[in-house]
Amino acid sequence: MDIPKFHPDSRALVKQYLTPAIYKQLSPLETPSGFTLKAAIQSGLKNPDSHIGIYAGDALSYSVFSRILDPIIHAYHAVGKTFEHSPDLDQTGLDQPSLAPLDPGKDFILSCRVRVARNLSEFCFPCHIHSRDRARVASLVFDAVKKLPQELAGSYLSFNDLSPSQMQDHLTRKQAFPKGDRFQDAAGINRDFPDARGIFASQDNNFMIWVNEEDHLRIISMEASADLSGVFNRLCRGLGHLSTQLEFAFDKRYGFLTSCPTNIGSAMRAGVHIRLRKLEKNKGILEKLTAQYQLQIRGTGGEKTSVEKGIFDISNKQRLGIPESLIIQNLHAGLAAIIEAEKSL
Ligand code: CIR
């Protein structure tokens, strides 16, 4: 039984850890919903530049295929062999009043955004979901958002209701999300797009839920300010309400279960868009600080985009085995140090 051939240049974690012995053991297996190793690694096989190269098709993929997923999780999340995840989210958010203002002069931080990924425990994940269940997910979210409190209340836009030109218009105004990238495409996540996809947005657009993108739900709190704790606390309030309506896939070891194993644990990315004109020319200092505070630099267009006009997207790298409030506090401390460095140059 030969391991499928990854591209010779591929440095994907799945290629590094999929030994002949693990392949032999896992290739005949399937989860009760019928998800296989072959399906899980399609993205890595088809994309030689994958960093990870594997997706989970359902919650049980994490146990059935643990012999390949665990080493990848250890390597990516830098956790020991006996990791676990205890979330500390509740409706109040950070229990201290708030974090010190990061950028009172409004000189650097353009916006803050905190998102979590969630999947409904009852259904397969997007790369393996049946179209009927995808529609069911959308309908459950549609019902749940009707019960949000006034502060978060808003409207649900189903992409099914948009003509191609309306969809394009919404994409331009960032009121819709596009079809996933080629990594998601190879995994099967884009099937039937834009069917059963949609976005819930609060009236002020500060609280949103993307439905049936890479995960069933991407719950997002954001605003054009430097108020990181305010943004996080709003996310906690929204999530608290949604958790009373929806049952999320969760495991004591892996935390919240997501399509991509890089997102498990808190499944949270908290970040800012920040203008750093001086550090842009002194990237070594910026990289040292981001490494010290376990932060990640991305382009402002998201995953695998480049930095433009000195505006960086800086967010947490750690997601697994760290409580959510600590992620926010570490990000806050890292940003304070980065702003100090920028000022001193
Ligand atoms: C890869 O293997 O490079 C892609 N599947 C992306 C991995 C990063 N995870 C993500 O965007 N959720």
Alpha helices (runs of H) in the chain, residue ranges in sequence order: 13-17, 20-26, 37-40, 42-46, 61-64, 66-77, 131-145, 164-172, 182-187, 228-243, 283-292, 324-344
What's the confidence (pLDDT) of residue 94? 66
The total number of structural domains in the chain stands at 2
Report if residue 259 sits inside a domain.
yes
State the pLDDT confidence band at 99, using cuts at 50, 70 and 90: confident
CA 129/CA 21 separation, integer angstroms: 29
Determine the atom of ligand 1 nearest the C-alpha atom of 303.
11
Residues 17 and 105 placed together within one structural domain of the fold: no
pLDDT score at 219:
98
Residue 261 lies in a domain: yes
Separation of CA 183 and ligand 1 centre (Å): 7
191 is catalytic: no
Q: Which of 11, 16, 43, 52 to mutate to test the pocket of ligand 1 (most atoms within 8 A of CB)?
A: 52
Is 115 tagged catalytic?
Answer: yes
Residue 67 class from Cβ within 10 Å (0-12 exposed, 13-18 middle, 19+ buried)? middle
Paired tokens of 307? 């930095």
Question: Where residue 118 sits, what CATH number does that domain have?
Answer: 3.30.590.10
List pLDDT tens digits, range 196-254: 999 999 999 999 999 999 999 999 999 999 999 999 999 999 999 999 999 999 999 99
Q: Are 188 and 299 contained in the same domain? A: yes
Please check whether residues 130 and 173 belong to one and the same domain: yes
Q: What is the CA radius of gyration of the chain?
A: 20
Length of the chain counted residue by residue: 345
Indicate the helix (H) or strand (E) that contains 124: none
- Considering the domain architecture, whether residues 127 and 21 belong to the same structural domain is answered as no
Domain contains 202 = yes
Q: Which of 30, 31, 36, 115 is catalytic?
A: 115
Residue 43's domain comprises 13-77
Q: Is 124 a catalytic residue?
A: no
